[in-house]
Amino acid sequence: MNLVHADPKTVLTGAHFMDGNHAACEGAIAAGANFAAGYPITPSTEIVERFAARAPLVGATFLQMEDELASSIAILGAAWGGAKSFTVTSGPGFSLMMEHIGFAAMTETPSVFVDVQRGGPSTGLPTLPAQADMMQARWGSHGDYEIIALSPSSPQECFDVMIDAFNFAERYRNPVFVMMDESVGHMTEKVVIPSADRVLLVPRRYTCLPPSEYLPFKPSPDGIPEMARMGQGYHFHVTGLTHDASGYPAINAQTQQELLSRLVGKIRNDADKIARAEERQIEDARIVLVAYGITARVALRAVQLAREERIPAGLLRPIVVWPFPEKRIRELAGQAKAFIVVEMNQGQIVHEVERGVAGRARTVLVPHAGGAVHRPEAILEVIREVAQWA
């Protein structure tokens, strides 16, 4: 895959102190995002506020739409128009976007959705964190489809994963999610933005075929079709209906089977290539903590406290949460006696861990209803208990 450098005009190279929301915005701009649409919602709004200010300085467009239904499809129209586009929201807005996530998956539209998670359900805790939209990101739209979701645990990583998100979106022609949370969004830390020549970007996959030979949804050897530029005489058609390689509707079971297995397969078959995780003290760990986003930082503290007590605990922090790193869990289930899943919800990713472990070790959930992060001591308590029998 040919990569290109970021545009130096857009990259704010240097060391900054900024919060995760601002860093995510700069990550998007460095990734070449030149279109964003959004509707204000706490705790995500700073991302679009910053983008609104930066857009006219970097050749980009921002439009505040009338609602999230509009912003989530305006970015898809912009993507087909040639832009790299994204939208930003939190729980209630994320719920409104669901139909267009399915539309993006079905039409293979490169797009990035940022959800700065807050406590729910409903209006919940507008100003306080949660991680309770993880399954919604995976399953929220109707029908079968696959997505990629990243979960940053620091402002620096908010910047970094935005670049990954845009690259995955282009590489797989798929909606990609950045699942932040209020804590990471509003925490200020040092963020180092590299020079433009160190930001490598996946360019859009445009066809070189002439219009007479081009089929808009004919997969390349890797299962992903090439796009055509608009306005160049390709006269292509895009529909959310089940369609064949020509792009036209084909309402029958066989086309559905072929399309669905390709849409799902292009992500599932590449899960290992997409996977990204951080492991801490995992080599000799008999107790593996699994945590992502802000919660992973608290869990790491608990691991350190446990190690001080000579309890062999370690941490697996998926940065790519979807597709879930099931294979790595399976491997670790050979060495670990127990998995402790720490998440700011009532149990979501824990089910994935249980599936990977498949009964070969115990899996324990340390839930939190949201509104505040876990206390490391509370996690340590659970580690101690588990250490009694692990």
Partner 1 sequence: MGMTTAVNPVEPLLRSERMPHLWCPGCGIGTTVNCFARALERSKLPLDKVAVVSGIGCTGRVAGYINLDSFHTTHGRAIPFATGLKLANPDLTVAVYSGDGDLISIGGNHFIHAARRNVDIKVICVNNFIYGMTGGQVAPTTPLGAVATTAPYGSFERPFNLPFLAESSGAVYVARWTAYHVQHIAHSMTEALRKKGFSFIEILAPCPTLYQRRNKLGDGLDTMRYYKERSVIKNGASTRDLDLDFQGEITVGKFVDVERPTLQETMDRLYRQRLEDRYFGWRQP
Distance (Å, whole) CA 390 – CA 388: 6
Using CB under 8 A, which of the segments 226-234, 320-328, 352-360, 366-374 binds partner 1?
Answer: 226-234
Q: 201 pairs with which residues across the strands?
A: 4
- What length does the chain have? 390
Residue pair 184/153 in contact (Cβ under 8 Å)? The answer is yes
Residue pair 50/22 in contact (Cβ under 8 Å)? The answer is yes
Chain positions 100 to 139 lying near partner 1, rule: CB under 8 A, are: 100, 103
Using CB under 8 A, which of the segments 116-124, 142-150, 239-247, 338-346 binds partner 1?
Answer: 239-247
Q: Closest distance between partner 1 and the C-beta of residue 251, in Å?
A: 10
Q: How many residues bind partner 1 (CB under 8 A)?
A: 46
In degrees to the nearest 10, what's the CA dihedral of 243, 218, 207, 224? 100
Q: Is 12 near partner 1 (CB under 8 A)?
A: no
Distance (Å, whole) CA 168 – CA 241: 24
Q: Is 57 near partner 1 (CB under 8 A)?
A: yes
34, 89, 156, 345: which one contacts partner 1 (CB under 8 A)? Answer: 34
Residue in 97, 79, 24, 75 with CA at minimum distance from that of residue 54: 24
Q: Closest distance between partner 1 and the C-beta of residue 311, in Å?
A: 52
Using CB under 8 A, which of the segments 32-40, 144-152, 177-185, 329-337 binds partner 1?
Answer: 32-40
Residue in 233, 338, 285, 262 with CA at minimum distance from that of residue 105: 262
66, 197, 331, 385: which one contacts partner 1 (CB under 8 A)? Answer: 66
Q: Is 35 near partner 1 (CB under 8 A)?
A: yes
Using CB under 8 A, which of the segments 149-157, 183-191, 240-248, 318-326 binds partner 1?
Answer: 240-248
Q: Is 9 near partner 1 (CB under 8 A)?
A: yes
Burial class of 371 by CB neighbour count within 10 A (0 to 12, 13 to 18, 19+)? middle
Which residues here bind partner 1, judged by CB under 8 A?
Answer: 9, 34-35, 37, 56-61, 63, 65-67, 69-71, 73-83, 85, 99-100, 103, 230-241, 248-249
